[in-house]
A and B are shown apart, each in its own frame.
Chain A
Amino acid sequence: MTETPVTSEMRANRLRAGLKRRYAREGRFKLYGLLAIGVAVGFLLLLLGRIIEQGHTAFYTHTVTVPVYMDPARVDRAYPQGTNFELLVAEQQLARMGIADDAQGTKAAELRGLFSSELKFAAAERIQNNPNLIGQTVPIAAPLSDDADLYFKHEISLDTPADQRRLSDEQIGWLDRMQASGQVAAHFNTGLFTKGDSTEPELAGVLGAVVGSALMLLVTAFIAIPLGVGAALYLEEFAPRNRLTDLIEVNINNLAAVPSIIYGLLGLALFINWMHLPRASPLVGGLVLALMALPTIIIATRSSLKAVPPSIREAALAMGASKTQTVFQHTLPLAMPGVMTGAIISMAHALGETAPLLLIGMVSFIPGIPASLGEPTGALPSLIYIWENASERAFHERTAAAILVLLAFMIVMNAAAIFLRRRFERRW
């Protein structure tokens, strides 16, 4: 009996000490959780931050305006495209800056490298539209070459040793003089959004890829959404409980987890090698993406059909509607917001999918803007892959810009899905 108070005191002390330790452990555990979330959010910020940092410079570009004396001795009235405008402009510019060239024209060649090839086409077009300009001095505006553009964006600096940068000291000096004389102007890079791909970074744009992606998504949506909704309706509302239904269900769940590159192999073997559909066309791309999006749409549709309470179906059936009428006139309309949300999200996912597109041939350089489903085209994600692989440094900023364009499309689609969900979602 004499020991009891001591024991309870000791026990309380031990408990208190233990409690402190347990609370500390609790705090640490909570901290790990917060840290994990911090890591995830931090990575997202880092990712977006880096891409914006790398890509924002691609949204403006530098144009040079040069007065060109359309020398009648060198510009052919009948065939202005044949004129070497670049050399003509470079020689005149050198003369204007008071620099004497050597016999081989080395300096003119170097100066030429600062203008993009667009200059030639712009000048030729002016002459073609108005041959009377020959003999006059015409100001022609054209983008600077990618390296010159990078210099004005402070990506190439004089601090780098001359043999490690793409512009010589002399070229940089010329650029500075042209800027001082007001010939160089910075402006929004409209070409990025109005041109197709090009091997020259300063002339490359994303329009071809955007149109290609849009055509592809159109095919995907037309095939995957009706098929997916149909399959989901069957499995959720009509299917008898038997082995075949089980097989289909297991199948769909597994298809949803098949790696995307396998769909690329399927597309290559089935659509291109067996059915001989045109390589790298939006048709084949859309078909492959449709097969890929199908399981996700089926799963999303089924879950929104499941959310419609059975009382709705029972009421319709009780009023004498047939099974089909119940499904198409009551269940499906009520599940529609969920179906559309799922469909949009899976379309956004399909938009960003790259690997299968590479296998069906969208890795090659395709300059034009596609006009039909059958001609070869690029797509936004494959363009990003191609530009990332390009050796010119100016393509890096354009890759990041193309990513920003892609992300913008995805954000718009996801926002539409969220809006639909918020606006029409019904809790029963």
Chain B
Amino acid sequence: MTWLFLPILIAAAVAAYFGGRALARRRGKTLPGKERPHSRPGQHGAYALIWTAVPALVVLLAASVFSPDIERQMTASGAPEAVQQLEPFRREAFFADARAVGAGRPAVQIWPAPYAELLPTEGQRAARIGQMLDLGGIVGAALAALLGALFVFSQIRPGMRARNRVEGWIVGLLFACSVVAVLTTVGIIASLVYDSIRFFSSVPIAEFLFGTQWSPQTAIRADQVGSTGAFGALPLFAGTFLIMIIAMTVAAPVGLFSAIYLSEYAGPVFRATVKPVLEILAGVPTVVYGFFAALTVGPAFREFFNGIGALLVGGPLDGLGQYLMVVQNQMALVAGMVMGIMLIPFVSSLSDDIINAVPQSLRDGSYAMGATRSETVKRVLLPAALPGVAGAMLLAMSRAIGETMIVTMAAGLAARLTLNPLDTVTTVTVQIVTLLTGDQEFNSTKTLSAFGLGLTLFLVTLVLNIVAQRIVQTYRQQYD
């Protein structure tokens, strides 16, 4: 609501600009003789604009971030005894309905006796509090804008270094932009750690990391079957690892060899046609790969293995045949292979950069000794580029571990501790999606476990990335 004030604020800031400029011009004329003011009138205007807009914007932002929390606390603390005794979760539902009733809409839930009568009055009270807070935010912002403008207008005089001050503000704003990146990291860590701590307070970390039983469905009734609520994530780690290994077996050789061919053998025309194709492959959204895996690769592989199984049944390999007859669409092999295809351009472009960073003199030296191109690649280029290539592979592994859509659509949900690529496995990312997209209340251990998984995923990929970037960086410096 408070953001409706924004157009007025913009208008005020523009007015402050013109006002400041006019004022600077007028006061500049008072200078004797040929003396000129330090800054141009427009720079004074810009200074006025900044002082009008920025403090008010800060107030508005603070108001819109904090007022929902304050509003909740104020409505809750002023509520009748009966409402205060509700659990926080129910209380919020009550006030949501109260607001709806107060605004003349029907309530979502049916409320029992003491609450039903309270709905309209409480709704009106909540709405009043909301309006009051909104008004408070707007008044605060207007006051901040006014004070800022007055401050600048009192400062404007020919000797003021308006340009330097404006530039100081600009650099400050740019710095603030780059701090957003740091804040994002802080936000990620804070949100993951906060909910993970709540999760680990009910499930010990050791059980989470080394337990072999994953069935997050917590029992609603005590006697429910199959709802053990076990949170041993080892099968998920195994599944993630298995799919990552399959993906890397596809992506690493294909990506590396295409990079070698493109940088060492291909002519300019070939390069110019193949590179865009790889870029398209890199730009295809992962949900498309997931669709491809689930509806094309999965059924094709299942039919293939079922066919082989049918041939083997009854023969000396009867057991294997029986097994192959029943493999499903959602085998680890399918998700892993399609993920490998997705990673090919990633590996290829990283390796291409790295191979190109090897100095030409090393190649020339090798050719001068009579080595063929492939010998140069194998004996000179690859050893020289090895750290860089290793870094690239680590980055690709981190991508494979964090990839979500392909596995969500093409791998299964069964948490199984296996390294058999024809089995159905599940991964960390699949479980995060499954845990958080169903209908459940937010604070259950089951939902919180998604944050535990998220934290693990974040830490593992972070370590992989940092190591990989270190390696690549030192490798590059070696040849700079």
Contacts and interface: CB of A to CB of B under 8 A. Distances in A.
A261 B432 contact: yes
B191 A25 contact: no
A26 B374 contact: yes
B261 A36 contact: yes
Contacts of B194: 269
Contacts of B401: 259
Contact of B174 (A230, A261, A384): A230
A352 B291 CA distance: 13
Contacts of B289: 47
B402 A261 contact: yes
Nearest to B344: A40
A217 to B, nearest CB: 14
B285 A231 contact: no
A51 B295 CA distance: 10
Contacts of B258: 33, 36-37, 40
Interface in B230-286: 253-258, 260-262, 264-265, 274, 277-281, 283-286
B277 A41 contact: yes
Interface string A247-267: 110111111011111111110
B330 interface: no
Nearest to A272: B442
Contacts of B123: none
A233 B466 CA distance: 24
A388 B173 contact: no
Interface in A37-81: 37, 39-41, 43-44, 46-47, 50-51, 54
B37 to A, nearest CB: 16
A358 interface: yes
Contacts of B449: none
B288 interface: yes
Contacts of A41: 274, 277
Interface string A383-399: 01100100000001001
Given A40-B344, A349-B283, A359-B436, 20 more contacts: A22-B372, A25-B372, A28-B374, A33-B258, A36-B256, A36-B258, A36-B261, A40-B348, A43-B281, A251-B185, A254-B469, A261-B402, A265-B451, A270-B191, A358-B437, A359-B432, A385-B405, A396-B295, A410-B283, A414-B283
Given A258-B458, A265-B191, A50 B292 contact: yes
Interface in B389-441: 395, 398-399, 401-405, 408-409, 429, 432-433, 436-437
A37 B179 contact: no
9 contacts: A28-B374, A33-B258, A39-B254, A231-B181, A250-B466, A257-B395, A324-B171, A355-B404, A403-B291
A259 B178 contact: no
Contact of A275 (B65, B170, B277): B65
B308 interface: no
Contacts of A148: none
A184 interface: no
Nearest to B255: A36
A47 B277 contact: no
Contacts of B294: 388
Q: Is the interface of B mostly helix, strand, loop or mixed?
A: helix
Contacts of A269: 191-192, 194-195, 451
A269 B432 CA distance: 13
Interface in A245-299: 247-248, 250-255, 257-266, 268-270, 273-276, 291, 294-295, 298
B292 A47 contact: yes
Contacts of A323: 167
Nearest to B377: A29
B285 A266 contact: no
A274 to B, nearest CB: 8
Nearest to B189: A266
A348 B283 contact: yes
Contacts of B462: 254, 258
A413 to B, nearest CB: 9
Contacts of A410: 283, 285
Given A231-B180, A322-B167, A407 B465 contact: no
Contacts of A298: 178, 181
Interface of A: 22-23, 25-26, 28-30, 32-37, 39-41, 43-44, 46-47, 50-51, 54, 226-231, 233-235, 238-239, 247-248, 250-255, 257-266, 268-270, 273-276, 291, 294-295, 298, 322-324, 348-349, 351-355, 358-359, 363, 381, 384-385, 388, 396, 399-400, 403, 406-407, 410, 414
Contacts, number: 259
A30 B174 CA distance: 50
B177 interface: yes
Nearest to A230: B177
A44 to B, nearest CB: 5
Contacts of A406: 285, 288
A351 B287 CA distance: 11
Contact of A352 (B65, B166, B285): B285
B461 A248 contact: no
B109 interface: no
Interface in B278-319: 278-281, 283-292, 294-296
Nearest to A223: B180
A351 B284 CA distance: 11
A275 B68 contact: yes
B36 interface: no
B187 A266 contact: yes
B174 A385 contact: no
Given A234-B174, A257-B395, A259-B457, A354 B187 contact: no
A294 B184 contact: yes
A155 B432 CA distance: 36
Contact of A260 (B185, B291, B402): B402
A261 B433 CA distance: 8
Contacts of B103: none
> Which one of B176, B288, B454 has the highest number of Cβ atoms from chain A below 10 Å of its Cβ?
B288
Contact of B404 (A43, A259, A295, A399): A259
Nearest to B433: A358
Contact of B178 (A54, A230, A257): A230
> Which one of A233, A269, A352 has the highest number of Cβ atoms from chain B below 10 Å of its Cβ?
A269
B477 to A, nearest CB: 15
